[in-house]
Chain A
Amino acid sequence: MTRKSRRIYILVVSLTLLAAATFLVINALDENLSYFHSPTDLKTKEVTIGRSLRLGGLVEEGTWVKLDGGLTHRFSITDNAESVEVTYKGIMPDLFREGQGVITEGSLNEQGEFIAHEVLAKHDENYMPAEVTEALKASGEWRGEEEGQATQ
């Protein structure tokens, strides 16, 4: 085997791999990107039913109820302009509270309800997800410090 044919061999193998990987990545990106939405976005923008997306905002005070003995949770997420009702079956994270910033992942069903399969309340109590901060600013409802995220 000469140097030249080895080079061609390496090139062919690398290009094949690259093509396969590109194909896989493009395919997977198409299916698995989930966009962040604020409640206002969800009400005003066109959203495909069943497509996974992230919904974030504040948990509206006085809306958190537990159904079937605490296994299913229902609460509203608000950006103080619009609010969306969320249903979630499972255990709430330790840091989930009313009035706090939260991000949920899930999709809209045919009835227009948001069914979450994941609720993220972050590790730090003072933490406000950056997406939520921005969404609140966008709706003119930001009431925190001027410069962005709270630090520890």
Chain B
Amino acid sequence: MIAELGQFAIIMALLAAVVQATLPLIGAERLDSRLMNFGGQAALIQMFFATLAFGCLTQAYIVSDFTLLNVAENSHSSKPMLYKITGVWGNHEGSMLLWVLILAVFGAAVAAFGRNLPATLKARVLAIQAMIGVGFLTFLIFTSNPFTRLVTPPLNGNDLNPLLQDPGLAFHPPMLYIGYVGFSVAFSFAIAALIEGKVDAAWARWVRPWTLTAWTFLTGGIVLGSWWAYYELGWGGWWFWDPVENVSFMPWLMGTALLHSAIVVEKRNSLKVWTILLAILTFSLSLIGTFIVRSGLLTSVHAFAVNPERGIFILFLLAIAIGGSLTLFALRAPALKAGGIFSPISREGGLLLNNLLLSTACATVFLGTLYPLFLEAIGGGRVSIGPPFYNNTFVPVMIPLLLLVCVGAHLPWKRADLLGVLGRLKFAGLATIIAALVAWYIADGGPLLAILGLGMASWLLLGTISEWMDRIKLFRAPLSTSWQRAINLPGSVWGMTLAHGGLAIAVAGMIATTAWKVEEVAILKPGETLSVFGTDYRFEGVREITGPNYGAIEGTFVVSQNGEYMATLKPEKRLYNVQKMPTTEAAIHSTFVGDYYAVIGDPDGTGGWTVRIYREPLVTWIWFGCGLMVFAGLVSLADRRLRVGAPADKKQARLPRKAAEASS
């Protein structure tokens, strides 16, 4: 009965989306405020039914209702409750339902928080948002129905892929989806602006919080995925340039560019056409990401099921969304009035360069990810492109960007004196050289490129700090004045400083782990000790343990340095009962300077065990730096200027609506 209610709810959500996609658009054309107001109501109704449907599916998972095909295929009664719930989106149908739910929630949020938007713009944004909804709801109902019943239900289910039964991965898909789908709002705003033929500073200000929300969650989602790969796959790596990683990284790169170019539109009323294009491209890349992963074109843990019918349906959706929006862009963009002019050496010029470099970097990732698919489609054979490709293309493009971040942040708007700015950065430059020398001393030589890379990261960090110090006049004014200025800095400025600082820390971590990672494979008998990079790992032996839905072999290592006890590591090798699938659970001891990482392998038959020990320097810096970027996004979102005029000033908010009503 509950499942039928869910089925009913997704159909109702589709109907609400159809109403929302049409009536407000007609209303905006005719300036009919009653038709336009349908948009907001329909958005709330659509969200209600999408939530209801999602709730129904969740309930089926919680009570293990195996009369549902979806539950029977992807759940098991012995699974821990957390994974029963997260299993809702651990499969194709459920994850599409989550996609649709998040889309509807964003639509409803625009309806609820967008009270101060001009009525026509709001109506058009909601209509575009609903069009995406119609596409995905149709897809859900006709090709991926999560509520299909089984005539003869099994006694128990097939269980969820054990690799997905993990706390890190449980919340990776929802965060990633909030990111992907959040860019739909920027997309809807861009399309609505093209229809209206007007982009101005106010438009940029409305788009910014949505873009920022999407970017923040996407960053979090990607980092969670990377962290999961690091500790769950047991290879000690955190990024593999795997196509499924790349498709989430591309919208991130474009979204980052969008975030920066929207600032130019907001402050200087310039780069408008470019910003609209970026908004379209960012969401298009999110759609392509969904398409590539879901269509089974790439096989991985993410490709739940291969089904050509679905692939063609998504391809069709993609063609309409991307083709349609780009056509509209080509038709309407030339009509947008160009804004203020600026010199190449200026804040605008810096942000433009940032955009060009980010898009170029994104293009190299795009090529590397899609070239094999393209080559195969034209019958050029099956190829794969490995990490060296990205090291030789993506990395060289990103280096100038990382070097210029702190220079750009120092530049004033319109035109700037480059020598003056470099003069203000001389202390940062000096400190960078010292930091690089210290790194060189600690690493005892080491690869020169990595030392230079660490120098680059510290330049980015110190340049960012010096910009912040300039803003609060630290050491140039009394401390109390500086303190006051720091408190009064707007959230978006804090956000910028924290995000750039986080980036610097993460980059330092990435470079250090890549350059100085140590991997040691050996066969150990209980009682034997393996020494890796000055650290002793004494193997104590193994024992068998039993988990809720798996059995495991647990090894014990005592880690010590110079005879001093540091930690006990207990890596496991699990065998899940239902799918009979083995997984590796690495044991990790994290410290500020690096991780001690142990994995237990197979017995060699004579009492010894294969073990792998990794020494991962500064790897925690990656998670900390990226975490700081997520935090920066939240701080920036809290900036009250983003909300100015929103619900705050009721009088002003009401005026435009009255005007619109009067004109109809």
Q: Which residues of A contact B (CB under 8 A)?
A: 1-3, 6, 9-10, 13-14, 17-18, 20-21, 24-25, 27-29, 31-36, 52, 54, 66, 69-71, 90-92, 94-95, 105, 122-125, 127, 129-131, 134, 148-149, 151-152
Contacts and interface: CB of A to CB of B under 8 A. Distances in A.
Contact of B386 (A10, A18, A32, A92): A32
A148 B360 CA distance: 37
Contact of A152 (B305, B341, B521): B305
B384 interface: yes
Give me the 10 closest cross-chain CB pairs, A-B, nearest first.
A36-B382, A28-B392, A32-B389, A94-B582, A123-B301, A70-B604, A24-B393, A69-B523, A28-B389, A151-B305
A91 to B, nearest CB: 5
B518 to A, nearest CB: 15
Contacts of A2: 341
B489 to A, nearest CB: 31
A10 B346 CA distance: 13
Nearest to A128: B299
Contact of A91 (B300, B581, B608, B610): B610
Contacts of B307: 151
A24 B306 contact: no
Given A24-B364, A32-B388, A71 B523 contact: yes
Contacts, number: 128
Contacts of A95: 581-582
B239 interface: no
8 contacts: A17-B356, A20-B397, A24-B392, A29-B385, A34-B383, A35-B383, A71-B610, A152-B158
A123 B161 contact: yes
Contacts of A35: 381-383
Interface string B345-386: 000000011001100100110010001000000000111111
B587 to A, nearest CB: 15
B386 A105 contact: yes
Given A6-B341, A70-B608, 13 more contacts: A13-B353, A21-B393, A24-B364, A31-B389, A32-B386, A32-B392, A70-B610, A71-B521, A94-B582, A94-B584, A129-B299, A151-B305, A151-B307
Contacts of A25: 364, 367, 393
B604 A149 contact: no
Interface in B509-558: 521-523
Interface residues of B, number: 56
Contacts of A3: 338, 341
Contacts of B371: 29
Interface string B435-462: 0000000000000000000000000000
A123 B306 CA distance: 15
B645 interface: no
B579 interface: yes
B341 A24 contact: no
A71 B384 CA distance: 27
A21 B381 CA distance: 25
A15 B124 CA distance: 36
B360 A69 contact: no
